[in-house]
């Protein structure tokens, strides 16, 4: 199998081995990011305070908006790029790369300026209590600058992987994650810099990731190259195809925003800190699933361009099997060891917050059984260039079902029982996603 060219492997290599070859580097890279984020949360929870965890959690809706727009460009562009590479149209694929990098740079700089000019207003909209304002403000200013590098790096990562750069992309992610962990320990524990230290650790780690990924352009045997964009009309279709992933990210942030408002009203800052632990666990699961999905959209987009419906279905089945295995393991961990999980992020002085977090886990664990399959089915539709049904899944999963059910259940049920809205929303989304997949199955979309 190693003697086959990457494109030949994608189009005709053994299904499981081909999938693993492309999925494992992606999973490893995103697992490294996940580990760094978990360690970051552990350091903040134990060496800063539970208020530090709450402060980070309050910024998630804003960060989700920025990352959502970047993901729209990254995934929409990568799918289109892969489609052109599958047709051996390398110049058109390179044009997509250049447009996406310029576009995401403009997005990042725009949000950085907005964050500095309207910092008090934005943090107020996010529901930040006055007691946390002095803690969160310096962190917010630094992270707003870091986001410019972070989203540019993310878009470049997706395109490097499209051009047989899985090892380079994984090396960048793993190196950056390890540096983040080391710098977290140095800045938070040794120098006692608090949240500011966590922000600077992220900044330096992201810079290292970007430098490694930029070495892609020094490779001799590559299909993609940089060229100054001249026509921008294509960016509209790129963005539209990636819109479902944007909505998925932004609507997820909106759910967190609604939750934060509700938790502050009913449980004060303790509620936000307790749910921050759940957010870390959801983040872990999604990073694993997106590692699998990264490989899936690459393999589907190439085979879609080449007209291979049966092979696409085989890759979807392989990805779904991997996701379900991970989902079952995560659900068992949540059911069997909730005290241990909360103890990772909260020290012994945060007893009430830990108890509240355990109660949250007991309510939301069923969503971990199915959220991975929803990611896979949404990515499948995006890779098949069916943005509308993919967008419908994203809106249902991240906006209509959870926000609607949270509004209903918070009125009918006491706190924290209203959180059962989250797993119910995920399962309702799965019913919708499964029906959309059947309607847009590969054999129906590709007729030879």
Task: Compute CA 167 distance to the chain's CA centroid, rounded to the nearest angstrom.
Answer: 20
The reported pLDDT for the residue numbered 166 is 81
15-19, 47-51, 372-376: the lowest-pLDDT one: 47-51
pLDDT in tens, 105-149: 999 999 999 999 999 999 999 988 888 899 999 999 999 999 999
The reported pLDDT for the residue numbered 3 is 56
For 221-240, what is the mean pLDDT? 82
Confidence of residue 229 (pLDDT cuts 50, 70, 90): confident
30, 288 contact by CB (below 8 A): yes
341, 277 contact by CB (below 8 A): yes
Burial of residue 134 (CB within 10 Å: 0-12, 13-18, 19+) is: exposed
Confidence of residue 244 (pLDDT cuts 50, 70, 90): confident
As a whole number of angstroms, the distance between CA 349 and CA 357 comes to 14
CA distances from 202 to 78, 177, 184, 206, 425 (A): 25, 9, 8, 6, 33
The reported pLDDT for the residue numbered 447 is 66
The reported pLDDT for the residue numbered 199 is 92
- Average pLDDT value for the chain: 87
The reported pLDDT for the residue numbered 122 is 94
The reported pLDDT for the residue numbered 389 is 92
The reported pLDDT for the residue numbered 113 is 97
The reported pLDDT for the residue numbered 374 is 93
The reported pLDDT for the residue numbered 415 is 80
Confidence of residue 232 (pLDDT cuts 50, 70, 90): confident
For 313-324, what is the mean pLDDT? 94
The reported pLDDT for the residue numbered 4 is 63
Sign of CA dihedral 136, 140, 146, 150: positive
pLDDT in tens, 145-176: 999 999 999 999 988 888 888 889 889 988 99
pLDDT in tens, 37-59: 778 888 888 888 778 888 888 89
213, 157 contact by CB (below 8 A): yes
304, 241 contact by CB (below 8 A): no
263-267, 290-294, 438-442: the lowest-pLDDT one: 263-267
Contacts of 376 (CB under 8 A, 6+ apart): 289, 292, 293, 296, 316, 319, 320, 323
For 25-31, what is the mean pLDDT? 79
Other Cβ atoms closer than 10 A to 225: 14
> In the chain, how long is the greatest CA-to-CA distance?
65
Other Cβ atoms closer than 10 A to 25: 23
Contacts of 25 (CB under 8 A, 6+ apart): 166, 167, 169, 170
Nearest by Cα to 65 from 258, 328, 257: 257
Confidence of residue 343 (pLDDT cuts 50, 70, 90): confident
The reported pLDDT for the residue numbered 316 is 94
Other Cβ atoms closer than 10 A to 424: 15
For 422-435, what is the mean pLDDT? 95
As a whole number of angstroms, the distance between CA 288 and CA 30 comes to 7
CA distances from 261 to 57, 62, 127, 169, 370 (A): 12, 14, 6, 38, 26
Nearest by Cα to 152 from 171, 172, 167, 166: 172
187-201, 340-354, 429-443: the lowest-pLDDT one: 340-354
For 280-308, what is the mean pLDDT? 84
Contacts of 209 (CB under 8 A, 6+ apart): 153, 172, 173, 175, 176
For 178-187, what is the mean pLDDT? 93
Confidence of residue 448 (pLDDT cuts 50, 70, 90): low
């Amino acid at each position: 199998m190693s003697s086959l060219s990457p494109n030949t492997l994608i189009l005709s290599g053994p299904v499981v081995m081909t999938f693993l070859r492309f999925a494992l580097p992606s999973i490893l890279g995103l697992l490294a990011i996940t580990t760094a984020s978990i360690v970051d949360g552990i350091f903040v929870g134990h060496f800063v305070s539970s208020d530090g965890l709450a402060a980070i959690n309050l910024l998630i809706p804003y960060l989700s908006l920025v990352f959502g727009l970047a993901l729209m460009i990254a995934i929409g562009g990568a799918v289109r790029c892969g489609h052109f590479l599958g047709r051996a149209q390398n110049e058109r694929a390179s044009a997509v790369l250049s447009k996406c990098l310029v576009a995401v740079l403009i997005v990042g700089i725009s949000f950085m300026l907005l964050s500095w000019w309207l910092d008090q207003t934005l943090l107020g909209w996010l529901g930040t209590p006055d007691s946390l304002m002095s803690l969160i403000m310096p962190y917010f200013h630094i992270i707003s600058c870091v986001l410019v590098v972070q989203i540019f790096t993310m878009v470049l990562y997706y395109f490097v992987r499209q051009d047989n750069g899985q090892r380079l992309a994984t090396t960048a992610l793993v190196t950056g994650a390890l540096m983040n962990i080391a710098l977290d320990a140095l800045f938070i524990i040794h120098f006692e810099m608090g949240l500011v230290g966590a922000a600077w650790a992220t900044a330096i780690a992201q810079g290292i990731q970007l430098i490694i990924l930029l070495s892609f352009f020094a490779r001799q045997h590559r299909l993609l190259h940089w060229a100054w964009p001249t026509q921008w009309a294509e960016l509209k279709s790129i963005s539209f195809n990636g819109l479902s992933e944007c909505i998925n990210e932004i609507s997820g942030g909106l759910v967190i925003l609604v939750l934060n408002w509700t938790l502050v009203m009913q449980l004060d800052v303790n509620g936000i800190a307790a749910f921050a632990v759940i957010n870390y666990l959801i983040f872990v699961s999604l990073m694993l699933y997106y590692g699998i999905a990264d490989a899936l959209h690459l393999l589907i987009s190439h085979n879609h361009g080449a007209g291979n419906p049966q092979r696409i279905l085989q890759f979807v089945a392989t990805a779904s099997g991997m996701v379900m295995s991970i989902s079952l393991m995560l659900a068992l961990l949540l059911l069997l060891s909730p005290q241990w999980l909360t103890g990772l992020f909260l020290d012994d002085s945060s007893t009430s917050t830990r108890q509240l977090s355990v109660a949250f886990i007991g309510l939301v664990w069923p969503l971990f059984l199915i959220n991975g399959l929803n990611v896979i089915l949404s990515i499948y539709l995006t890779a098949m260039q069916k943005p509308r049904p993919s967008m419908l899944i994203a809106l249902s999963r991240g906006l209509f079902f959870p926000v609607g059910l949270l509004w209903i259940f918070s009125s009918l049920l006491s706190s924290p029982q209203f959180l059962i809205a989250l797993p119910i929303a995920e399962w309702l989304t799965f019913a919708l996603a499964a029906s959309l997949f059947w309607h847009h199955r590969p054999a129906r979309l590709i007729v030879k």
